[in-house]
Structure 1
Amino acid sequence: MNWIDWLVMLATLIGIALYGIWRTRHIRSSETHMRGSDDLNWMVIGFNIMATQASAVTFLSLPGQAYEDGMRFVQFYFGLPLAMIFLSIFVIPYYYKLKIYTAYEYLENRFGVNTRVFTALLFLLQRGFSTGLSFFAPSIVMSQLLGWSLNFTILFIAGLILAYTYVGGYKAVSYTQTLQFSVIWLGLFLAAGIVFFQLPADVHFSDALNIAGKMGKVNLVDFEFDLSNRYNFWSGIIGGAFLAISYFGTDQSQVARYLGGKSLAEGRLGLMLNAMIKVPMQFLILGVGVLVFVFYLFNQAPLHFNSNNVNRLSGSAAEQYQVLETQQKLVFEQRRTAVDQMMKAMRSGDDQGTALAKAEVETLHATELQLREDAKTLIKDHVPDAATKDTDYVFISYVLKYMPIGVIGLLLAMILAAACSSGASAINALATTTVIDIYQRLYKPEASDRHYLRMSKFFVAAWCLISLAFAFSAQLFDNLIQAVNIIGSIFYGVILGVFLAAFFQPKVKGRAVFIAAILTQIIVIVVYVLSEYKIDLNLFGWIIPVRVAYLWLNLIGCLLVMGIAGILQGVMPEKGDQNRVDASA
């Protein structure tokens, strides 16, 4: 990488971190460190919400997902605008009225301490794991660039995130996220524009779009109702909505963003800004991946995108890999000719010629895919510890090879800025939840403010270490963006069910919802395992095939908690009224 790229990347990242430290150097209270000063306007809230969700995983994994599977993943976000409207009307008014630090404080007022602690622990578990993935994703980039070991690179990224989060807490996260989000948008538009302009001069935007469509990459909406299909309109609009309601309404890393607003109106407007921009943003990221796919129809792609794996081959294995590359080159040249023929036929309106050329392109593309699989098998046979799934390397491989000097540094800064943004807000939320919902509530309810400030900083460091442990296991997942959403779907539905029971089931009390939440979490994990590993359920001799896509786990978990809690409340009256705050409060 050129020294100019290093300068751009490091100046951007270090400059943002130093700005956050400088702006928060005088923080001396635990409230400001954990919650802020309730002074954010709606635009900053909206940017912070989006920056918190848009991790490095988004920019590394989504373009590769689109390269391999097209744009159907965008359906995952179709339910998000509905979720933002729901939260603005029914949820955040409770939080602002009670002036709480964390979302889980409300649950004690409503259901008792057991439910509060249980849901807080579910959040800590899944968010700690997801934060580990946000450390791991940018480490893929840096390990490729620097030749460092992956684990050492993870430690390097975590240290960068820890620096300003430890010093400034919530306020440092808020100040830096606005700058980080600006870098993200600049990088996205540059990436999309440069990929398009690097296509052959005679390939217009309409040509690129038509070619992508013929190759099945512009598969935006699928209306077929299929519970086993991860990404269709129904899983997105229903399952995605429930996931978004739970994530933005009960995950402290997001709740903290709008609880720091000047008023309820500012918090609502921030959520609405997220509703308007998030789907177009994901569309743009996936679009970059599709453009990279079209680019590689006219330029030979690497046989395997993870160059680290290829560099580890030696001797006869390296020679076999070179043979596969030679075969790929021949297939590419034939496919390039067929793509040109297909483009000319489409321009002239020759449907028959288009169909014939498309069939040839698809046949040759299938041949290339088989060569890629052969390369993965070769790598796996000779480098047993290698993770051969390489879709997360597609975008960064393209950036490093084809982007102009300076832009490479900016795009790497974009990816790392996203990692810092999501990682810092998550670590701050994990520390705040641990201090407020566990440590202060159960162990030290009457300590000094100075003590809580010290513990807030301690748990920032502790959760960095815990997330690092999760990060070291991230290589077990084929696709990082799916891993994050799968983990969330396993836990978020249960958490959301508890909150919706608090809001909309006034007769349900603490013991019933606590037991319902535990039972439901067990059921959701069992359903996921049966679905993921295609295991049939044997229920008293009845064989039931369980095939449920992970997005539906959010709906299943939510409805089961509310349903079981309602039944239990009817047959198991609460001992003593723990419903200290009415649901309409």
Structure 2
Amino acid sequence: MGILDWIILAGTLLFIVGYGVWKTRGSKDVKDYVLGGNEAKWWTIGLSVMATQASAITFLSTPGQAFHDGMGFVQFYFGLPLAMIIICLVFIPLYHRLKVYTAYEFLENRFDLKTRTLAAVLFLIQRGLAAGITIFAPAIILSAVLGWDLRTLSVIIGVLVIVYTVTGGTKAVNVTQKQQMFIIITGMFVAFFFILGYLPPDITFTKALKIAGASDKLNILDFDLNTKSRYTFWSGITGGLFLALAYFGTDQSQVQRYLSGKSVRESQLGLIFNGIFKIPMQFLILLVGVMVFVFYQYNTSPLNFNPAATNAIMASPYAKDYHILQEGHVALETEKKMAHNKFSTALELKEYDAIVEAREEIITINAKDRSNREAAKALIKMADDSIETNDKDYVFIHFILNYLPKGLVGLLLAVILSAAMSSTASELNALGTITALDLYKRNKKGEFTPKHYVKATKLFTLLWGLIAIGIASIANLFDNLIQLVNIIGSIFYGNVLGIFLLAFFFKFIKGNAVFFAALVTQIIVCVIYYTLIHIHPTGEEKLGYLWLNFIGCGLVMVIAFLFESLERLLRNPPIKT
């Protein structure tokens, strides 16, 4: 990175932090601090909702996901527009009518305190873990840039976010996220057009898409009914729908965004805005990853994109073996380039048999390349099992650091770090609010001033920030960061969504039945995850994780119905004649 990159990066981040602190200083009461005084317009809500969901993981992991597995991940979002409509019609009017600060206040009004507390605790567990991961993601970036320790960087990033989140509350999160989304969208468009400009002169965008298609990177729709597949059309409109309903309808990090709206209409317009533009935005980010894949068909790529992994293996007794794999990798890259040139020529001449032959050759080379990379990962693990061998999350950052011009590197790093700060700020804001209002205030005896609860919310926000930093310090890359966050959410979200649906639509079911049904459901979902989804060294997934949202939601509703029926039967046994 050059001086210009550092100026752009540091200037962007300091502006966001300073602007957030200055714009929102001096919250008078809980309403002002938690709901931003209910002043947010629909565009602020829409951008804030998008920024909350679009973390650094989105811009770090999603291009890497597309690089390795193609565009199929976009199916994950197919249920989102329908979820936005349902939330606008059901959730938002109810929350505004009840004038709640948190989604879980409604559960106490409908059921009882213990059900409200259980739902709040489930939220705190999953969102607390996710907050740590959203801090860990940008730490990976700066670690690759600076060579600094990941734990040190997690602390620095966490502290930056804590400063303006604790100071300004929800309003600070909202006003900074508008600037962050502008930086994010601008940066991704710039990156996309630069990648296209770096392709060989004869490779047009249309031809680049065909090249990506030859390697099965453009398989957007998968109508396979196999539940083992993570991303299919069916899992997207079912599991994805339930996940989106739970996330946007019951997750306080999102609910708090639209509860700050000036009116029901402003909140609804903000969510509709998100429903319309979210899928195109994700499509663009995935397409950036696919274009990076095409770029590396004509340019040199490392055997493993994680620089720390390469350094570790080269300093180990396995360096010679790794060098042999690198020689094989270089040879495969030459073969790959020749095969793609052959494919490109066949496309221009419109020779069908030659196109098919070249495509088959590309598929064969890709299989050899995957095998070679897996062998490299195995060697790295033997050299140092503490080094992360999974390199999906390093693909895009490798391209940024090695191929983009000065100034643009700083902009793209600012994009990813801005996204990290926006989503982490929303999460800490929500975690502090839930802890202060749903647990502390609700269970604390005595009357206290509004300023007392503002201070308590700030203190709990700070505490959760420290916890998130701690989680980031012990995190690892798992399979892929964006998948890890969604897996964590899927384990809890279906259950919580089911509780809310019972509250909305099944008035005859009472608090005891729901509480115990939720406990049983959470245990069952965890067992399903560890037995059918959690990947063991010798096993494979038996179920796509998105289905957990549907299963959890359905289970809690069925079990609650059975418990309520049993309880009524015990209270009113049939009269013997």
Match of 1:554 in 2: 549
Q: Which deviations, in whole Å up to 9, do the C-alpha atoms of 1:481-532 show, x marking residues without a partner?
A: 1100000000000000000000010111111111111111111111111112
SS of the equivalent of 2:489 reads helix
The yes-or-no answer on 1:224 pairing with 2:224 is: yes
> Do the aligned partners of 2:78 and 2:240 also contact (CA within 8 Å) in 1?
yes
The yes-or-no answer on 1:517 pairing with 2:512 is: no
Match of 2:403 in 1: 402
| CA displacement at 1:476 relative to structure 2 | 5.6
Match of 1:539 in 2: none
Change (3 A) 1:325 1:21: same
CA distance in 1, matches of 2:28, 2:92: 28
| CA displacement at 1:322 relative to structure 2 | 3.0
SS of the equivalent of 1:153 reads helix
The yes-or-no answer on 1:215 pairing with 2:210 is: no
Match of 1:494 in 2: 495
SS of the equivalent of 2:560 reads helix
> Do the aligned partners of 2:137 and 2:481 also contact (CA within 8 Å) in 1?
yes
SS of the equivalent of 1:217 reads coil
Match of 1:477 in 2: 478
Task: Name the amino acid aligned to 1:345.
Answer: A
| CA displacement at 1:326 relative to structure 2 | 2.3
The yes-or-no answer on 1:414 pairing with 2:415 is: yes
Change (3 A) 1:58 1:300: same
The runs of at least 4 aligned residues of structure 1 exceeding 6 Å deviation read: none
Match of 1:337 in 2: 338
Q: Which deviations, in whole Å up to 9, do the C-alpha atoms of 1:280-308 show, x marking residues without a partner?
A: 00000000000000000011111110011
SS of the equivalent of 2:568 reads coil
> Do the aligned partners of 2:347 and 2:355 also contact (CA within 8 Å) in 1?
yes
CA distance in 1, matches of 2:235, 2:431: 29
| CA displacement at 1:445 relative to structure 2 | 5.3
SS of the equivalent of 1:405 reads coil
Match of 2:392 in 1: 391
> Do the aligned partners of 2:214 and 2:363 also contact (CA within 8 Å) in 1?
no
CA distance in 1, matches of 2:400, 2:245: 35
SS of the equivalent of 1:103 reads coil
Matched ranges for 1:68-83 at <5 A:
68-83=68-83
Match of 1:542 in 2: none
Match of 1:583 in 2: none
Q: Which deviations, in whole Å up to 9, do the C-alpha atoms of 1:148-170 show, x marking residues without a partner?
A: 11111111110111110111111
> Do the aligned partners of 1:511 and 1:574 also contact (CA within 8 Å) in 2?
no
Instruction: Work out the number of aligned pairs and report it.
Output: 567
Task: Name the amino acid aligned to 2:82.
Answer: L
CA distance in 2, matches of 1:517, 1:526: 14
| CA displacement at 1:251 relative to structure 2 | 0.3
Change (3 A) 1:391 1:90: same
| CA displacement at 1:324 relative to structure 2 | 2.3
> Do the aligned partners of 1:527 and 1:546 also contact (CA within 8 Å) in 2?
no
Match of 2:506 in 1: 505
The yes-or-no answer on 1:459 pairing with 2:454 is: no
Match of 2:236 in 1: 236
Bigger shift: 433-442 or 443-452? Answer: 443-452
| CA displacement at 1:444 relative to structure 2 | 4.3
Bigger shift: 555-564 or 75-84? Answer: 555-564
Match of 1:540 in 2: none
Match of 1:541 in 2: none
> Do the aligned partners of 2:64 and 2:393 also contact (CA within 8 Å) in 1?
yes
Match of 1:427 in 2: 428
Bigger shift: 198-207 or 29-38? Answer: 29-38
Matched ranges for 1:123-522 at <5 A:
123-312=123-312, 313-314=314-315, 316-444=317-445, 446-475=447-476, 477-522=478-523
| CA displacement at 1:534 relative to structure 2 | 7.3
Matched ranges for 1:39-50 at <5 A:
39-50=39-50
CA distance in 1, matches of 2:323, 2:288: 29
Match of 1:100 in 2: 100
SS of the equivalent of 1:91 reads helix
CA distance in 2, matches of 1:534, 1:333: 34
Change (3 A) 1:534 1:368: closer
CA distance in 2, matches of 1:533, 1:72: 21
Residue ranges of structure 2 left out of the alignment (5+ in a row): 572-577
> Do the aligned partners of 2:72 and 2:231 also contact (CA within 8 Å) in 1?
yes
> Do the aligned partners of 1:510 and 1:574 also contact (CA within 8 Å) in 2?
no
| CA displacement at 1:575 relative to structure 2 | 11
* Identity among equivalent pairs (%): 48
Match of 1:582 in 2: none
CA distance in 2, matches of 1:398, 1:367: 23
CA distance in 2, matches of 1:395, 1:62: 9
| CA displacement at 1:90 relative to structure 2 | 1.3
> Do the aligned partners of 1:60 and 1:415 also contact (CA within 8 Å) in 2?
yes
CA distance in 2, matches of 1:294, 1:458: 48
CA distance in 2, matches of 1:181, 1:332: 37
Task: Name the amino acid aligned to 1:383.
Answer: D
Match of 1:538 in 2: none
Q: Which deviations, in whole Å up to 9, do the C-alpha atoms of 1:233-287 show, x marking residues without a partner?
A: 0000111000000000000000001100010011110010000000000000000
CA RMSD in angstroms comes to: 1.6
> Do the aligned partners of 2:103 and 2:252 also contact (CA within 8 Å) in 1?
yes
SS of the equivalent of 2:238 reads helix
| CA displacement at 1:533 relative to structure 2 | 4.5
Q: Please report the TM-score for the alignment, with normalisation by the length of structure 2.
A: 0.96
| CA displacement at 1:547 relative to structure 2 | 2.7
Change (3 A) 1:41 1:153: same
Bigger shift: 303-312 or 10-19? Answer: 303-312
Bigger shift: 363-372 or 489-498? Answer: 363-372
CA distance in 2, matches of 1:297, 1:321: 22
Change (3 A) 1:412 1:445: farther
> Do the aligned partners of 2:317 and 2:383 also contact (CA within 8 Å) in 1?
no
SS of the equivalent of 2:39 reads coil
Q: Please report the TM-score for the alignment, with normalisation by the length of structure 1.
A: 0.95
CA distance in 2, matches of 1:77, 1:432: 28
Change (3 A) 1:245 1:299: same
Bigger shift: 348-357 or 130-139? Answer: 348-357
